[in-house]
Amino acid sequence: MKIGNVEIEKTAALAPMAGVADKTFRELCKDFGAALTVSEMVSAKGVSMGDKKSGELMYISEKEHPSSIQIFGNEPATMAEAALCAAKMKPDIIDINMGCPAPKIIKGGAGSKLMQNPELAGRIIKAVSSAVDIPVTVKIRTGWDSDSLNAIEMAVIAENNGAAAITVHGRTKEQMYAPPVNIEIIKKVKESVSIPVIGNGDIDDAFSAAKMYETTGCDLVMVGRGALGRPWVFQQISAYMKNEVILPEPPVSQRMLIMLRHIENICNDRGAKIGMREARKHALWYTKGIRGSAEYRRQMSTLESIEQLQEIAFKITKENE
């Protein structure tokens, strides 16, 4: 499939997850076959003020392409300025966040708060798409709550104001991440616009990805929480989509090796102190559901060194041989 002039495999994209989808994780998911990676969301206001962290969040490595930088904000001019800055990092796509339900983002009038102001949303999309010469996409939810399901209206506005594709997370802002995912609205959005539609929500294996494709007719699927501690999910989806091959979950020994590779790369990129702090949540995700890991998971919540993690990984592997 294509977003603008950007060709993307019709397998699965990695969702933009704040505090998770950093460069290290995006590269790892890319190694396992992610068709598209999207940065953590970047504050347009932070970019306009020269905030160092915002600048760092926009960094994209060569191996990530095709890739997208996601920005958020509620002022058309500031969003256009941020898009221009983001474009200097050479992404293939600029994505606008109009779906984040986090209270801090909502309070600032951004994210899914824009679902309540379609007119402003349209002006933001137009300002951003007019400012850059690469495709601009928009990520939305089904609506603010069950009484205001306006994803179709938002999608049409996005297309009319220059968006090259739309991602629909099949939940309302009020749902946050609680079930169910509204597949029917994603299908209706697809039927209402001529630009590509990306389906998102509870995709965590090849079967749920295939169901999203088949039920909605969407052009691409996006995996978020389903990739936490399971970057190989992209390999599984790709194998099924291309050849109808069902790949099993990797053995515990391989899971532990992937975990160690991931954490070591975080430490190499960001230093041991920050890396090990980040390692704690990732280690818990990698060991979820593994037999006999309860005590080791408790220890992982206070990880201090890569050696400590290596020792735990060795013991978990030995217990599951």
Q: Is 85 a catalytic residue?
A: no
User: For 33-55, b where at least 16 C-beta lie within 10 A, e where not — what string?
Assistant: bbbbbbbbbbbbbbbbeeeeebe
Q: Which two tokens stand for residue 150?
A: 């306006």
Cβ within 8 Å of residue 251, ≥6 positions away: 320
Q: Which two tokens stand for residue 69?
A: 């930088």
Q: Which stretch of 157-171, 225-239, 299-313 has the lowest confidence by average pLDDT?
A: 299-313
Cβ within 8 Å of residue 263, ≥6 positions away: 275, 276, 278, 279, 282, 283, 306, 309
Position 300 confidence tier, pLDDT thresholds 50, 70, 90: confident
Angle at 121 between CA 22 and CA 124, to 5 degrees: 70
pLDDT in tens, 10-23: 999 999 999 999 99
The whole-angstrom separation of Cα 215 and Cα 220 is 12
- Closest to 297 in 3D by CA, of 282, 289, 308, 287: 287
Q: Is 48 a residue whose pLDDT tops 90?
A: no
pLDDT in tens, 107-158: 999 999 999 999 999 999 999 999 999 999 999 999 999 999 999 999 999 9
Structural domains of the chain, ranges and CATH numbers in brackets: 2-243 (3.20.20.70), 252-319 (1.10.1200)
- In the prediction, which pLDDT does 320 show? 87
Q: Which two tokens stand for residue 112?
A: 């899914």
- In the prediction, which pLDDT does 50 show? 85
Q: Which of 85, 100, 218, 267 is catalytic?
A: 100
Q: Is 295 a residue whose pLDDT tops 90?
A: no
Cβ within 8 Å of residue 151, ≥6 positions away: 140, 141, 142, 143, 168, 185, 186, 188, 189
Give me the amino acid identity at 308.
Q
The whole-angstrom separation of Cα 309 and Cα 279 is 9
227, 233 in Cβ contact below 8 A? yes
Position 302 confidence tier, pLDDT thresholds 50, 70, 90: confident
Terminal-to-terminal C-alpha distance of the chain: 42
